[in-house]
Structure 1
Amino acid sequence: MDEPFPATGDDRPVRVLATGPEADPYALYEEMRAEGLVHHVREPNGLHRWLVLDYAEAREIFADARFSKDPARAWEQLRDAGYVSGEPGDRADYLYHVANTDPPDHTRLRKLIGKAFTTRRVEAMRPRIREVAAGLLDRMETAETGTVDLVDVYSHPLATTVMCEILGIPALDRESFRTWATAILSPPEAAARGTMSKAEGYAAMRAFFTDLIGQKRAAVHDGPAPADVLSALIHATDDGDQLTETELVSTVMLLMSAGQEPTVNLINNGALALMNHPEQLALLRDKPELTRGAVEEFLRYDPPVQLSTTRVAVEDVEVAGTVIPAGAIVALSIAAAGRDENRFADADRLDVTRDDNPHLAFGHGIHHCVGAPLARVQGEIGIGMLIERFPRLSLACPAEDLRWRPTRIMRGLVELPVRLDTPPGR
């Protein structure tokens, strides 16, 4: 559905987007890209965004300082749509983290976080990730029907367990995060009666982490410093500078939400892509050494994050012949960029051997995802071990019956029913 375009010098209509991703949004992206590389869209909640579909333009905007990450620059628009409440200063309660700041604050926060979230720490987690995955696969193998929901029994518990162990969150509290994260990541209009709202999800997660940080601060440790990331963040310093209490809470909320959901989606979307392309599944099964590169292809082909987080134009900026006005909210379509034929040959084809693959699944520039190394390792281990254990994995329902989560930024399945078909003799 379209509506008249506001007076911005462009005579194209505003495209009204439905809530959440369609089962296959790529046909829509192709249709839109044929009309133009930049579109003014309106969400059902009334929020207007400028959507960029082109790979080259999206990559450039990711690193362009003329597009701010500070939500205060578009606070009234976000508040009217139900994404935030109160005044801009209130964002410190739950939104003041590295993904919502510009330099110099971003530079300072990223430097402190980088001291605790290193590639070395992630690589050291490989044996534990394999151990967790193996335990989940063992339980799947005993399923009486031979059919399981991959989300419920594998991808979600794997990502949640690993992220909680890295952060240092007690096992008893881990299931709560599924409810909280779902509420936080859903658009305001997606909340149904009886479910937790976005504000309630933020409040519950904030209260939990405030209490946990207090416990860790009060704990007396003998010997080496604790290994978990949350404790490391509490003690991280740079020339005497430390994260404030608000920054700590917001940062850990970000790491937990952004570190869990995209990994779940990466494993599920990758597994679904393979089941829909049995020749690629067979190739990866026969050549497991291709798994690391295959993960990059899954990230391009059907990325776990469909849209970038909010950016705000700080001045009028011309993008692909369209002037985006100052104060406008901009979203970069990571999913559309990954299917851009001008950058990726045969872009609609899944190819686990593809080697020229500079996708934008983790962003680009100074806001490149700090958790990218962990997501890659979990995707590699999670998908690789799944195929190794169940080489004849197949979809247990018609593809058109699959339900996608009603989130605009993430692209993930509600459930993924699969047949395991364990080989004889196991």
Structure 2
Amino acid sequence: MVAPLDLLDVESLLSDTERDIREVVRRVADDRVRPDVAEWYEKGQTPVRDLALEFGKLGLLGMHLTGYGCAGASAVSYGLACMELEAADSGVRSLVSVQGSLAMYAIWKFGSEEQKQRWLPGMAAGELIGCFGLTEPDHGSDPANMSTRARRDGADWVLDGGKMWITNAPLADVAVIWARAEEGVVGFAVPTDTPGFSAREIKRKMSLRASSTGEITLEGVRLPESARLPEARGLKAPLSCLTEARFGIIWGSMGAARDCLRVAIDYATTREQFGRPIGGFQLTQAKLADMSLELQKGFLLALHLGRLRDSTGALRPEQVSIGKLNNVREAIAIARTCRTILGGNGISGEYPVMRHANNLESVLTYEGTSEIHQLVIGQKLTGLNAFA
């Protein structure tokens, strides 16, 4: 048997350093996450702080950033790390993505030197947890109309409002909060022990259960001017953070898809019906072939975008939208098809396939729904804005 990604010899497209980083992350996922993640998912409880410290020791938190204790790894290396983490569980990859590509990136990109020194080294080490507060109960895909307000009061700022579906919020030490002010959208690095700030755990989730998700309430949160991210000007700032996080999703979703396909192939070659393994039936082989095709195409797309980012320093939003739209859409299709191969066992927690499928329902929505990415691509193709 040949592993799906071996069909095109994609291994030859990676450098020795990239393969080494991937293997390190794969080992920690195998050793630290896989043995317990089914139980974490079932209970809706994950040792986030313990994982953050372990990931920090490996340099995984903010690994693609430079300075302040960050590893300064390449985009492809970061993508491979996301792929291995999400092959274990999307919620665990979300912990790393939100910490590094949203909270840390926002401070690294838009913060003052004082803010960077205060927060980034501890976040890179996993000693401090960060979250990113943009989405609101009534404003998910339309952040331009966010309800959270920031008003000046003397030398201070006062924040009022709420944020919803915020990964890491119940555990966070610092929250990057976006709000509307007279001068437009502004961002703040908010210590979560500030009076008026509260975060409650969102319960009864059916997806990303191995991830801590919260609702943030801001009631007269008073902050000094030094808490404002000085280089964040307008809505473009938080949207650029989303572009940063979407890159990890492009890779991570392929990890979940690969894990589902691995399990389905193993199952199909050992499960017998009608006197022979189900992998010997034409319909099953057709499913496996089609899924392998989409997995390889998705990996090559992710690798191309990673190489492009490493060579140019940045990706255009529509390029990231192409990657997120395609790879998550194909990953969830792969997970669902793998579930059919496992039959009734496909819904059992003894196998990871249904857990991946459920998690990918959230990944399909967050950091921009499929519809939003279609409109981003459509606007680029036509020059016409279909958002309004």
- More helix by percentage: 2
TM exceeding 0.5: no
Give the TM-score normalised by structure 1. 0.28
The structure with higher relative contact order (CA 8 Å, sep 6+) is 1
- More strand by percentage: 2
